[in-house]
């Protein structure tokens, strides 16, 4: 074996290891974006992927040694095209058909079978150059090394810089490099006719993926516009979420992973209920903590209270708080609240922050997205609410948005029961109507007893009034209390309840 042949085979194994795991991560991540519940999506994808690899490995025995090299190159070409198209096709399936889950499974099976063929065929190609035990160890160690690089590059480099769509196309092209290297190095071992056919396939495949990459921004814009009614003025995929801002006349809307976070037409209803009800009951409101709320709208309402000395805002995604500070439309909506000297922003996980030592807070505001995946469900757990309690002053209280008591009734009352079981002296639910959301719920937990009749609004509001306050505590028959179990880190029951409720309405 020549040195070039050795290097090409080593390169092929390494690249195959990278691409195989990248495709798996891309399909699972895309599915979790669109369907939520990341653990289920990753588990299903990994399970089907591994089973399909087993099927591919099994059928590799039917490939004859006579055309082994040609077949391997052809498999890499097909795999490069399928892998490069996997996310674009899933995006199209989500936007234009009702068969996204089926498409995801079919794509996983197809790519998994092709990946399963790779290692056995490569091992057979290398058998003439290494003894069996060296052959297997070389193939597997290089494949695993490539997989390690893929797992590190995916969250820290690929998602922040390319996103899922472009990463898919890019690694399809990377996969093609195996075919290029093989055709170049082993040209003399492939018949002229077959070599010509493979070269044509290679050129067509590279042209297809290169064109897709070249027009990816145009295609992504068209795809995004098909999902959102209004004009998209900003979109970015961060390591944590996909952020989209749309605008139609005076209606500015923020979406995270496709879920509406606010509409500027009626967001004041939500934020007034979130802020002014607990603040009106607080015995002291000097030191405030907000978990989430990177858009600055909750801070805008808090700054109406001159008694507040400091506001710590903890938001996981730096891009979200950057938008709240710098995006002209968001700055206008939040009235430059995040530039106020009282506001201190930290970009970190809320659970981690509450575990760190710091002074207690008079009021804690939890303005997090709904518990639609495992990472968020942990922030609606009994353990999390106990951390919240430990970070409050003896007379402190907190409030959390708690999804819709109408659309996700079980989830709402699961959150209520979870907070109630977390040793707060008093736990009180309330709800308001936000037209863009529907009926929306909140839950307060306090380290002291309070009387809701004591609420007196001391600041100017657009929606809340003494008259409307009397209605927020009343839960009609169809949204009335139901006994549900508590949600914990070990058993995040709120996730299942939430997905069950919203799946029907979605």
Catalytic residues: 367
**Virtual CA dihedral for 239, 241, 246, 250, nearest 10 degrees?**
-110
User: Which DSSP category does 368 fall into?
Assistant: P
Tell me if 25 sits within 8 A of 42, measured CB to CB: no
Geometric angle at alpha carbon 445, from 439 and 447, rounded to 5°: 160
The pair of structure tokens assigned to 108 is 């996983």
CA–CA dist 270, 290 (Å, integer): 15
CA–CA dist 348, 334 (Å, integer): 22
Geometric angle at alpha carbon 85, from 165 and 256, rounded to 5°: 25
Geometric angle at alpha carbon 277, from 274 and 281, rounded to 5°: 135
Q: Give the DSSP per-residue string, 276-328.
A: HHHHHH-S--SEEEEEE-TTSHHHHHHTT-TT--EEEEE-S-HHHHHHHHH-H
Instruction: Report the 10 Å Cβ neighbour count for 56.
Output: 23
The pair of structure tokens assigned to 187 is 């040209």
CA–CA dist 121, 152 (Å, integer): 27
Tell me if 95 sits within 8 A of 225, measured CB to CB: no
Closest C-alpha to 117, from 74, 170, 177, 179: 74
Closest C-alpha to 100, from 267, 234, 227: 227
Query: CB under 8 Å to 292, separation ≥6 — which residues?
Result: 314, 315, 350, 366, 367, 368, 369
Tell me if 17 sits within 8 A of 11, measured CB to CB: no
CA–CA dist 215, 244 (Å, integer): 20
What 3-state class would DSSP assign to 358? coil
- Beta-sheet strand order (sheet of 242-248): 231-237, 242-248, 251-256, 259-263
Query: CB under 8 Å to 459, separation ≥6 — which residues?
Result: 276, 304, 305
């Amino acid at each position: 074996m020549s040195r070039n042949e050795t290097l090409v085979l080593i390169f092929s194994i390494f690249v195959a290891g990278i691409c195989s795991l990248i495709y798996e991560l891309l399909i699972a991540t895309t599915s979790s974006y669109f369907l939520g519940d990341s653990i289920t999506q990753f588990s299903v994808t990994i399970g089907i992927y591994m089973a399909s690899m087993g099927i591919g490995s099994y059928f590799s025995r039917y490939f004859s040694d006579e055309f082994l090299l040609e077949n391997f190159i052809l498999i890499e070409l097909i795999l490069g095209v399928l892998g490069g198209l996997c996310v674009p096709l899933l995006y199209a399936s989500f936007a234009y058909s009702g068969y996204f889950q089926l498409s995801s499974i079919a794509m996983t099976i197809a790519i998994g079978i092709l990946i399963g063929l790779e290692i056995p065929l490569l091992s057979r190609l290398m058998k003439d150059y290494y003894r069996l035990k060296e052959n297997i160890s070389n193939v597997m160690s290089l494949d695993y090394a490539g997989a390690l690089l893929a797992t590190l590059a995916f969250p820290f480099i690929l998602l922040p810089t390319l996103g899922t769509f472009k990463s898919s196309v890019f690694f399809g092209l990377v996969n093609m490099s195996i075919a290029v290297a093989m055709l170049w190095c082993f040209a003399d071992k492939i018949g002229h006719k077959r070599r010509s056919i493979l070269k044509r396939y290679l050129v067509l495949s590279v042209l297809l993926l290169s064109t897709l990459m070249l027009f990816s921004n145009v295609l992504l814009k068209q795809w995004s516009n098909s999902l959102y009614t209004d004009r998209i003025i900003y979109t970015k995929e961060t390591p944590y979420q996909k952020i989209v801002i749309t605008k139609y006349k005076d209606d500015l809307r923020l979406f995270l992973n496709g879920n509406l976070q606010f509409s500027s037409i009626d967001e004041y209803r939500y934020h007034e209920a979130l802020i002014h009800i607990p603040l009106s009951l607080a015995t002291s409101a000097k030191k405030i903590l907000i978990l989430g709320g990177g858009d600055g709208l909750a801070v805008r309402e808090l700054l109406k209270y001159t008694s507040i000395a400091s506001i710590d805002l903890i938001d996981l995604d730096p891009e979200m708080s950057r938008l709240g500070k710098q995006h002209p439309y968001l700055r206008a909506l939040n009235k430059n609240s995040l530039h106020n000297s009282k506001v201190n922003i930290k970009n970190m996980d809320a659970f981690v922050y509450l575990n760190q030592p710091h002074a207690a807070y008079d009021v804690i505001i939890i303005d997090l997205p709904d518990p639609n995946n495992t990472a968020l469900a942990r922030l609606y757990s009994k353990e999390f609410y106990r951390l919240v309690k430990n970070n409050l002053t003896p007379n402190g209280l907190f409030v959390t948005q708690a999804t819709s008591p109408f659309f996700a009734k079980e989830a709402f009352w699961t959150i209520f029961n979870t907070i109630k079981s977390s040793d707060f002296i008093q736990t009180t639910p309330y709800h308001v109507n936000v037209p863009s959301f529907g009926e929306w719920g909140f839950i307060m937990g306090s380290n002291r007893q309070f009387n809701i009749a004591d609420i007196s609004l001391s600041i100017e509001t657009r929606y809340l009034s003494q008259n409307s306050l009397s209605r927020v505590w009343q839960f009609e028959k169809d949204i009335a209390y139901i006994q549900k179990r508590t949600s914990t880190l070990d058993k995040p029951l709120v996730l299942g309840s939430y997905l069950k409720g919203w799946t029907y309405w979605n």
